[in-house]
Amino acid sequence: MDISHAKLVCEACFLGVASEGMTPAVNPTVQGVGVGRKVVHSIATDELALQVFVDRKLHERFVPPEHWIPDEIEGVPTDVVETGVFSIGRRFPPIYQRRVRPAPAGVSIGHYQVSAGTFGALVRHGGDVSILSNNHVLANEGKAQAGDPILQPGTYDGGRVDRDTIAHLADAVKLEAEATNLADAAIATPVVKDDVAPEILHIGRVRGDAEPEIGLAVRKSGRTTRVTSGRVSATDVTLRVGYPDGFLVFADQFLIRGDPDRFSGPGDSGSLIVDAGNRAVGLLFAGSPFVTVANRWSNVAKALGVKPIS
Amino acid sequence: MSIEDVRRRHEARLMGIPDVVGVGIGQTAGGRVIQVFVKEITKGVREKVPAVLDGFPTEIVRVGDVRRL
């Protein structure tokens, strides 16, 4: 008895795999074949058997004769094993890219004409509670109007105006092409107060604020790379940053290097950067495969007149 | 002059060097340095960025293509 030959016969008869001298056929209930130990009364014996994997194992009365699996093939006994249908795991997006209510900071958000960025934090703006992120996430780089719908998740993650509007654009720090910028920041007012949560996903509540110092250990929770850690590598930074319409110059920024891996990726824009004590130190807005660039928290807070909610 | 003052004083000149995209203050084992950020480290940049500015050492740092995320 040749088990590998028997397996070829199985593959030809059930799965339609062409082999020399055999006519391929398909048994639609068969999902695969393999070789294992023959199981008798739930106990594996020393005898080898052909395992025939079926989506559902049924009493033979319910199996049409053309789908029957013979007790043996080419002298090799068979075992019918119920496996269900194999698939390459249907992609189910992580919570960061899904619609979440109440939405914690860290998840996907964006103006209805923007792909997607990150809901950075809930902040206090006068007597109101507002969603903080970047201008280029919430205000479409200045092309948006106050009152425009802000979606959670962002459009890139399937957000739709009719269903997923979580807030309306309230205010944005203007981005200047001819002068230096301090912040790429904007705020939006939630439609329903209870649809947003003050916690940053997997980081928790913000506890006040602090200045970025070289070497400071920081973290962020963002739409694309989720929770990452890194260290402040440079402060007092003036830098040209690429935008779709050209370079903008930012001053008084700081740089972060990821530790151990990348700190950020596209879609993480708007993430709040916090230190080990969850104090707000900056607003993430730009980067490259080597570094991440952030606005100093104090500049963001001053430009928009906001405070972190602790 | 503090390193912050020196960085500010030389910012415009350093950012006028081709391939230089930014300046900042960083740290090495020997102390604080003026970092000069470039997309790629080139021979031209090495020749044009002074090793020392008003007593503070410079460091050329490759940051790649920095874009809004």
Compute the average pLDDT of residues A122-138.
96
**pLDDT tier at A274, thresholds 50, 70, 90:** very high
pLDDT at res. A44: 87
**pLDDT tier at A91, thresholds 50, 70, 90:** low
Q: Are B63 and B21 in contact (CB under 8 A)?
A: yes
Q: What is the pTM for the complete model shown? A: 0.78
Q: Tell me how far apart the alpha carbons of residues B7 and B18 are, in angstroms, rounded to a whole number.
A: 18
Q: Tell me how far apart the alpha carbons of residues A292 and A167 are, in angstroms, rounded to a whole number.
A: 27
CA distance B10 to chain A (A): 12
pLDDT at res. B35: 98
Where helices occur in A78-129 by DSSP H, the ranges are: none
Q: Tell me how far apart the alpha carbons of residues A55 and A82 are, in angstroms, rounded to a whole number.
A: 6
pLDDT at res. A272: 98
Between A87 and A97, the higher pLDDT residue? A97
- Amino acid in position A111: H
Look at B69 and A264 and tell me if their CB atoms are within 8 Å: yes
Q: Tell me how far apart the alpha carbons of residues A189 and A147 are, in angstroms, rounded to a whole number.
A: 9
pLDDT at res. A90: 61
Residue A43 reports pLDDT greater than 90? no
- Give, for A301, the enclosing helix (H) or strand (E): helix A297-304
pLDDT at res. A42: 82
Contacts for A124 with CB less than 8 Å, ≥ 6 apart:
A130, A306, A307, A308, A309
Closest Cα in chain A to B19: A240
Looking at every residue in chain A, the average pLDDT score rounds to: 93
Which phi and psi (to 5°) does residue A228 adopt? -135, 160
Residue A87 reports pLDDT greater than 70? yes
Q: Tell me how far apart the alpha carbons of residues B63 and B26 are, in angstroms, rounded to a whole number.
A: 13
Q: Tell me how far apart the alpha carbons of residues A201 and A271 are, in angstroms, rounded to a whole number.
A: 11
Please identify among residues 10-69 of chain B the ones whose CB lies closer than 8 Å to any CB of chain A. Answer: 11, 15, 21-27, 32, 35, 37, 61-69
Residue A216 reports pLDDT greater than 90? yes
- Over residues A233-265, the pLDDT tens digits come to 999 999 999 999 999 999 999 999 999 889 999
- Residues of chain A with Cβ-Cβ distance to B23 below 8 Å are 237-238
Give the SS3 label for residue A298: helix
Look at B24 and A264 and tell me if their CB atoms are within 8 Å: no
Q: Which of A220, A166, A217 is nearest to A194 (CA)?
A: A166
pLDDT at res. A48: 92
Closest Cα in chain B to A236: B24
- Residues of chain B with Cβ-Cβ distance to A183 below 8 Å are none
- Amino acid in position A268: D
Which segment of A93-97, A221-225, A229-233, B50-54 scores lowest on mean pLDDT? Answer: A93-97
Residue A93 reports pLDDT greater than 90? no
pLDDT at res. A294: 98
Contacts for B67 with CB less than 8 Å, ≥ 6 apart:
A241, A242, A243, A286, A287, A288
Q: What percent of chain B has pLDDT over 70?
A: 100
Between A304 and A10, the higher pLDDT residue? A304
Concatenated DSSP letters of A127-170: TEEEEEE-HHHHSGGGT--TT-EEESS-GGGT--HHHHEEEEEE
Residue A114 reports pLDDT greater than 90? yes
- Over residues B7-42, the pLDDT tens digits come to 999 999 999 999 999 999 999 999 999 999 999 999
- Give, for A308, the enclosing helix (H) or strand (E): strand A306-308
- Residues of chain B with Cβ-Cβ distance to A267 below 8 Å are 69
Dihedral sign from CA coordinates of A181, A135, A293, A195? positive
**Pair of tokens at residue A165:** 């509007």
Residue A134 reports pLDDT greater than 80? yes
Which segment of A17-31, A95-109, A171-185 scores lowest on mean pLDDT? Answer: A17-31
> Which ipTM did the prediction report?
0.98
Residue A28 reports pLDDT greater than 90? no
Neighbours of A93 (CB within 10 A): 12
pLDDT at res. A289: 94
Residue A1 reports pLDDT greater than 70? no
Mutant choice from A247, A255, A273, A295 vs B, greatest count of B C-beta within 10 A: A255
